[in-house]
Amino acid sequence: MKATGAERRRAQARVILAGPLVLLASFASLAGVFVFTPPGVAGVNHLVMPMLLQPIIWAALFFYASLDERLGRAYLVVLGIIGLSLAAAAAYR
């Protein structure tokens, strides 16, 4: 069965979300985790945790973006993470 034009566009939108946008969100989340993680008694947790969590955040967002039937909501979540992280980075500096 051939995909309709609307279905094709929806599939392309999902590929863009789960591909480049999720990768971007996982890198942007480095800033968010850096700003929001307490340094701890050794003063290093905020320096280490962003890098350690990035692959896990990417995996979680990738499968969320791939599986959520409500594509608009998935866009909102991923773009929200990017926006929140960038805002946190800007406020920190």
Least distance from another protein to the Cβ atom of residue 33, Å: 9
The three-state DSSP-derived secondary structure of 10-75 is HHHHHHHHHHHHHHHHHHHHHHHHHHHCCCCCCCCHHHHHHHHHHHHHHHHHHHHHHHCCCHHHHH
Least distance from another protein to the Cβ atom of residue 17, Å: 12
Instruction: Decide: is 51 part of the binding site for another protein (CB under 8 A).
Output: yes
Which residues lie near another protein (CB under 8 A)?
27, 30-31, 34-35, 40-52, 54-56, 58-59, 62-63, 66-67, 69, 89, 92-93
